[in-house]
Amino acid sequence: MLDIKFVRENPDIVKENIKKKFQDDKLPLVDEAIALDAEARTIQQEADDLRAKKNQIAKQIGALMAQGKKDEAEVVKQEVAKNAARLSELEAKEPEVREKLKKIMLTIPNIIADDVPIGKDDSENVELERFGEPVVPEFEVPYHTDIMERLSGLDLDSARKVAGNGFYYLMGDIARLHSAIISYARDFMIDRGFIYCVPPFMIRGNVVDGVMSFAEMDAMMYKIEGEDLYLIGTSEHSMIGKFIDTMLSEETLPQTLTSYSPCFRKEKGAHGIEERGLYRIHQFEKQEMIVVCKPEESMDWFHKLWRNTVDLFRSMDIPVRTIECCSGDLADLKVKSYDVEAWSPRQKKYFEVGSCSNLGDAQARRLRIRVKGSDGNKYFAHTLNNTVVAPPRMLIAFLENNLNADGTVNIPTVLQPYMGGKTKLGE
């Protein structure tokens, strides 16, 4: 969420940013926000004036009564009653106006970084760099569900009976591999100085409002019926929510946390051949990383975060690339975002396995996460998040890139301690 003062003083910049995101239908919201802000400030000023006048008149009445001027005092009392009625009216109207303003401000997109490429959708995202050599083996690489089923590691039919489409049973060595990757990712991030955390898997509505837009919430999150609770779609939400309504000392920054959680998503609109199996599912597990830092440090942290994911995948011999999201593909809270994509030998192309985002002070402003500097000045923190690893999707990249012609799967050295010393699956 932008600062209303910034919108008031820079309407042209805000409108140009909306155009860069190809959301022209939101252009009128800028003028509406400015008008509502002016109305709210006018109401507040009049109310403050009436409160001050109330105190003055009270003294005046006391003086008149002391002088025995009861008739004059009664006239003044009538003025007090009139002012009280007006003040009551203003006090009822001000929160209504501010609530309308807030709803609009939650809809106006954050200002994107100057170097974000301009484009309408993900088809115009820009490849930045590749890490590792993509390989297409001479043998045919089966679909990932076939690989897992041959290793007795996947049962989709039973999952459909129990929970419906979009769920799965992982079994045996595949289930163990899944847990091994999560455990390795946890230790990988701890070794890089991040504090490990297991957060709540449900969050309240006010936290949801703070971490994402309504459109994202509607497309992603499951609501707990009859309660003010939502199942998290990513632990980033509860991790950033951990700092709601806090005043952080500048000396405690940056806060660098890595978290494990199950994730639950509606996945509205998922379709197509590559949406089958474990590509688009309603439940999965993930290791995440988040940073809360000073504004001047957020871009440095942004580049450190996405590089962590690249290094993790390369340690398991999986080729990856980074993609910069164009303006039209950025969620409204984001200043800048990179996707990390892994190579798929079967598809002969890359697919997304992680997303790194710098949200500037947008989340912190919504959640009221402030910092007190050594000079006593207070400001909003910057927040960032990035996927460390998210199996089962990551399993797809792992299995395809480590598959042998005989159907066995190599286990990279870094994972072998988590797999009881095994070097291959399917032997």
Structure tokens at 377: 């000045």
* Domains along the chain with CATH numbers: 4-105 (1.10.287.40), 122-425 (3.30.930.10)
Q: How many residues does the chain have?
A: 427
pLDDT at 75 over 90: no
pLDDT at 272 over 60: no
| Single-letter code of the amino acid located at 333 | L
Contacts of 58 (CB under 8 A, 6+ apart): 80
Q: How many other CB atoms sit within 10 Å of the CB of residue 251?
A: 9
Burial of 143 (0-12, 13-18, 19+ CB in 10 A): middle
Which conformational region is residue 142 in: left (phi greater than 0), alpha (psi within -120 to 50 degrees), or beta?
Answer: beta
For tokens 């050599």, the residue is 133
Collapsing DSSP to helix, strand or coil, 356 comes out as strand
Q: How many CA atoms lie within 13 A of 340 on its CB side?
A: 30
Predicted local confidence at residue 273, as pLDDT: 42
- Minimum mean pLDDT range among 28-42, 237-251, 271-285: 271-285
Per-residue model confidence as pLDDT tens digits over 109-129: 999 999 999 999 999 999 999
Q: What pTM was computed for the model? A: 0.89
Residue 132 has pLDDT above 50, yes or no: yes
pLDDT of 268 above 80: no
Q: Encode pLDDT of 82-100 as tens digits.
A: 778 888 889 999 999 999 9
* Distance, CA of 97 to CA of 38 (rounded, Å): 10
Residue 161, Cβ density class (10 Å: 0-12 exposed, 13-18 middle, ≥19 buried): exposed
Nearest to 262 by CA among 206, 198, 313, 203: 198
Average pLDDT of the chain, as a whole number: 92
CB 213 within 8 A of CB 331: yes
